Amino acid sequence: MAFVRVNGVVLHHQVIGRPDAPALVFNNSLGSDFRIWQDVAPHFADRFRVVLYDKRGHGLSDAPPAPYSIDDHADDLFALLDHLKIASAALIGLSVGGMIAQRAAIIAPQRVKALVLCCTAAKIGTPELWTQRIGAVEQSGIEPIVESVLQRWFTPAFHEARKDELAGWRNMLVRMPAHGYAGTCAAIRDADLTSDAGNIAVPTLCVAGNQDGSTPADVVQGTANLIPGARFKLIDGCGHIPCIEKPAALTQLIQSHLQEAGLV
C-alpha cells in the first residue's frame, strides 16, 4: 500500500507490474475501492505499469467534506500520475470511474492513450435521482440503501450462488464514509459529458453488462455512439460490476482493445 497527498487529499494507491512499461490505470465505481479489480489487474502486470487507487471519499483515501465534482476527481487522477511521473496512460473506468476517464480524455487528451469505459455513460441518471439518494445517505447513512445497490450491482444468479462473496462486497460498501459516497453522488449528478463526448479522440471501448441495473446496455451503447470510432461490447450474465462478476470476459475485452490500440 502507498499513500500520497495531492490536492490536499491523501490518496491510497498501488502500483504493480513493469516500471518501464506503458501505464494502465484502473478507476473504481461509486461505493467501491480498488479491490474490485483483484481478478483483472494482475493479468496486465507483465506488459504494463498498472496503477490502482481509491478516489477521494473511497477506500483508504481521505474523504473531504462533500460535495465533489468530476473535475475534482479528474484533477486528483492527474496529480497522482504526476506524483508517479507518468506522462500518459490508458484508462479503465467503471461507472463513475468511467465518467472520470472520459473527463480526463477531454481535459488533457495528450495524457490519455486509450479508454475502456465499463458500465458507464456520458450522463448517468437524473439530478432528481441523485439528489434523493444524497438526502437519504446524509440522513440515515449507507446501510438503508445497500440492498437496492447490490441488486443493481450483481445479477440474481450471483446473489444466489455466491452468497459469501456478496456479503464481503456488501461489507465494503456499507463501511465507506457516508459523506464520501454522497460527495461522489453529487459529482455524478452535476456531470453531463454529452456535448464533449464527440471530442474524445483516443481508441475507446464501451462495455456493458446485459443485466446492469445502474447503467443499462442501451445507455452505455448510446455513449459509444457519441464517441468517434468507439466500439461497444456486451457481457452476458453480468450486472454493473463485471470485474467481480465476469472478470475473465472483461479481461479479454480489455486485452483485445489495448492490442488493437497498439499498446501491447
Mean predicted confidence (pLDDT) in 27-47? 98
CATH topology for 2-260? Answer: Rossmann fold (3.40.50)
What residue spans define the domains of the chain?
Answer: 2-260
Indicate the pTM of the whole model. 0.98
- Our CA angle for 188, 194, 197, nearest 5°, is 110
Cα–Cα distance, 134 to 80 (Å, whole number): 27
**Structure letter (DSSP) for residue 229:** T
Q: Which of 115, 169, 153, 124 is nearest to 242 (CA)?
A: 153
pLDDT confidence of residue 1: 80
Q: Which helix (H) or strand (E) holds 12?
A: strand 9-17
pLDDT in tens, 167-212: 999 999 999 999 999 999 999 999 999 999 999 999 999 999 999 9
Q: Is the pLDDT of residue 264 over 90?
A: no
pLDDT in tens, 68-79: 999 999 999 999
